[in-house]
Structure 1
Amino acid sequence: MPGTPDTPDRAVPAVRLGPAPVVAETEALTALAGAGVAGALEAAVVLGRDVPPPGVGRTLHRWEVLATLGAADLVVARTLEPHLDALAILDEAGLPGDPDRPDARWGVYAAEGPGARLEARPGATRADPGDATGATGPAAPAGWVLSGRKPWCSLAGAVDHALVTAWTDDEHRGLFAVDLRQDGVTVEDGTWAPSGLAEVRTTPVAFADVPARAVGAPGWYLRRPGFGWGGIGVAAVWHGGAVGVARRLHDQAQRREPDQLALMHLGAVDAALTASRLALGDSAAAIDAGTADGAAGTLLAARVREVVAGAAEEVLRRAAHALGPGPLSQEPEHARRVADLALYLRQHHAERDAAALGRLVAGPGSPW
């Protein structure tokens, strides 16, 4: 029998996105439920070795790991997703992480904000966190130095390394790997008091002449195929979070005979999650087939994120209408899951991202 609201069932099933579900990782992934940021970061190194990067033939597997984490615990998923994304970015660039710290926990900080600007300038590095020369390609200088402030750095006080974007001139940004334990790095207090993802603290970080290693040439971070793929990975976590909420709705139907309205909500949730699942599965197939690069990859990522975000918001709305105030006021796990997902979904920019998708399909020729 499923757990009661006071004693939830901790055995979180894997989230299936295709015919071959996650099997080997399921027990380990679901055991992370409730582990928090510290527990997630403890698991990060092992998980980083086990989860394949996108585009190597096992992208659906990667999406299912992320979705299963999202269904188990969104704080854990939100902690692990940037670490896995950083490893995939480094792999795409043909670079190792920190050779001296193979157990490094990574963040990815690419947001911009008013009143905060991080700049990179060529310079000799002291205690270079990368290889002995700092070389990343023919056009790369020997080393870089970061100065300024970077906003919206989630878990900067918990991870020890990060990939950060910084301005190399007035028009171009580059991506840099930096050891956050160095002198000159200050994780600021900031103001962060959300009801969702409360443990995933987000603050500005100040850099004062901090050595860093270039990852690709300026502009590479946004131009690379994996940029859109990483965005789809985040959507896979959203899908998992929505599945977690939807399972509470399905559980309600097992506890008592659903009336017609309850069945209507359950059916609508199933349709939304099916659309989301198919979009993620289709994206994995396209990425592995090599048909999701360049403009095609940008369009695919925008479509998938729009579908998944819309489905997740539909699940939140339907679950609230069908379940009423009881679970939100008397079941801390469900209330926390709803709050976490609602905040996490705001990485999708709602109508602005829908308009961006519209712009991508507004050219000549029908996209359908």
Structure 2
Amino acid sequence: MNGTPAAPRPRPVRISSDPAYLETIGPLLSAAQAAVGDVPALLDLAKAAGATAPKPGEGRTAYLWEILASVTAVDVAAGRVLEPHLDAAAILAQAGLKPGLHAALNGSPADGDFADSDGANVAGGHFSGAWGVFAAEAPGLRLEARETAGGWVLHGFKPWCSLAARLDHAVLTAHLEGGGRAAFAVDLTAPGVSVADPGWTSRGLREIPSGTVQFEAVPAVPLGGPGWYYERPGFAWGGMGVAACWLGGAVAVGRSFTASLRKAADGGREPDQIALAQLGEIDRTLAALTAYLAAAAARIDSGELAGKGAWQEALRVRGSVAAAVERIQSLVNQNLGPGPLAFDEQYGKRMADLSLYIGQHHAMRDDAQLGALTLTGDDPW
């Protein structure tokens, strides 16, 4: 029967789980593969995964990161949708979400439970729909939270709100009148929320536009109190979860490069020493990174990274993975040249998506922060 051959079955990215157990991710990866480019389908995928995925620090952190890495290896944009939804679930749980949050966000009396359609369980309650996490700041834009007799309300502007027009709720940070910032849960469909057209022209993550959202007296539920969002160990754990996504993208680049060399060899063109050296560097880099993330996940689950050293370790992990992603992309582009970027849609999309995604890492500024922590604390080496 003629037709386009079926896409190969997506493979999970292993960090430390038993291979047989890792296969349980298979249906999620097949769904991600079928949903590439379809944002509503990707959001449905995130909601479904959020109902069963573990949370960091609860004993299966490596498996959580394998989910994130594996989905991102299928499609970087899919990982970019999934990660904040799972992070929001973790933040709500860490804040000790109580029944009534869903009602509070929607302005209706609490009934002791959450009446939603998704049934995703977080800390004994439910949270409905698709969630984002918005904590970025930008010059000239400021979101303020004010406490009133009727509760907390948000006023102002929040930048870099990815997919805000498509999401139901978000965890976001806002400035307090007395100074500092705090985290809040907010209904993005509430009156007073305005999502402007971001004019998104990026070639990477084209389906994940990020723009500015305006809030005018929008009710919000506080999470954890002033400073809690940044001070909790979960902030560092979530940052490492993003690095797991970056790792998944790098694995996909390495796998596609390996496949191209094998295809060329099958056609009679054996890889030369340079190609083999590049593949060897990619192999040892990815092997080192997966081992590093496995160790970090184990330390989180043991309680070792629950204190002040958590963010220092997150900076190490994020910096190491981001640098490796850029190096692997450079090696592969050097070897394959412009051809795949010009004519291979999947390859070009992955490279553009991944380049934009790792822009969340602040490069030398993050290294400077790590250096300051090293200078004033204990180094591990």
TM-score normalised to the size of structure 1? 0.90
Match of 1:225 among 209, 227, 233: 233
2:322 paired with 1:309: yes
Which moves more between the two structures, 248-257 or 333-342?
248-257
Give the aligned partner of residue 106 of structure 1: 131
After TM superposition, the structure 1 stretch with the greater mean CA deviation from structure 2, 106-115 or 22-31, is: 22-31
Task: In structure 1, give the amino acid aligned to 2:311.
Answer: T
How far residue 258 of structure 1 moved from its aligned partner, in angstroms, is 1.0
Whether the aligned pair in 2 keeps the contact of 1:37 and 1:75 (CA below 8 Å) is no
For residue 152 of structure 1, give the secondary structure of its aligned residue in structure 2: strand
Q: Deviations over 1:197-234 (max 9, x none)?
A: 00001110000001110011111000001000000000
1: CA distance, partners of 2:41 / 2:149? 37
Q: Structure 2 residue aligned with 1:284, among 272, 282, 297?
A: 297
Superposed, 1:28-177 pairs within 5 Å as 28-33=28-33, 35=35, 36-95=38-97, 98=102, 99-101=114-116, 102-125=127-150, 143-169=151-177, 171-177=179-185
- The letter of the residue matching 2:71 is L
Instruction: Kindly indicate whether residue 25 of structure 2 is the aligned counterpart of residue 17 of structure 1.
Output: no
Give the C-alpha shift of residue 8 in structure 1: 7.9
Q: Tell me the residue number matched to 1:358.
A: 371
Which whole-Å CA distance do the structure 2 matches of 1:242 and 1:339 have between them? 12
What's 2:254 paired with?
246
**CA separation of 1:266 and 1:222: change in aligned 2, threshold 3 A:** same
Q: CA deviation at 1:29?
A: 2.1
For the residues of structure 2 that align with 1:364 and 1:47, how far apart are their CA atoms?
Answer: 38
Residue 192 of structure 1 pairs with residue 200 of structure 2 = yes
Unaligned runs of 5+ in 1: 1-5, 126-142
CA gap 1:206/1:171 in 2 versus in 1, 3 angstroms? same
**Cα deviation, residue 124, structure 1:** 3.9
Q: SS state of the match for residue 182, structure 1?
A: coil
CA distance in 1 between counterparts of 2:370 and 2:6 reads 39
Number of residue equivalences? 346
Offset from partner CA, 1:143-164 (integer Å, 9 cap, x none) = 2010101111000001010111
Aligned partner letter, 1:86 = A
In structure 2, relative to structure 1, the CA distance for the partners of 1:9 and 1:259 (3 Å cut) is farther
Residue 299 (structure 1) aligned with residue 312 (structure 2)? yes
Give the CA deviation at 1:313.
0.9
- The root-mean-square deviation of aligned C-alpha atoms, in Å, is 1.6
Query: 8 Å contact 1:30–1:68 — kept in the other structure?
Result: no
Deviation at 1:365, TM superposition (A): 5.1
Counterpart-to-counterpart distance in 1, 2:288 and 2:238? 20
Q: Deviations over 1:12-53 (max 9, x none)?
A: 100011142422122222331251321111122221011100
Q: List per-residue Cα deviations over 1:241-299 (Å, max 9, x = no partner).
A: 01111111100221122111100110011121112111211110000000002221011
Shift of 1:333: 0.4
Instruction: Note the residue ranges of structure 2 that are not aligned, 5 or more in a row.
Output: 103-113, 117-126
| 2:364 is equivalent to residue 339 of structure 1 | no
Paired residue secondary structure (1:33)? helix
Deviation at 1:170, TM superposition (A): 5.1
**Counterparts of 2:188 and 2:345, CA distance in 1:** 34
Which stretch shifts more, 354-363 or 147-156? 354-363
- C-alpha offsets along residues 60-107 of structure 1, whole Å, 9 cap, x if unaligned? 000000000110011111011101000000011110562244432101
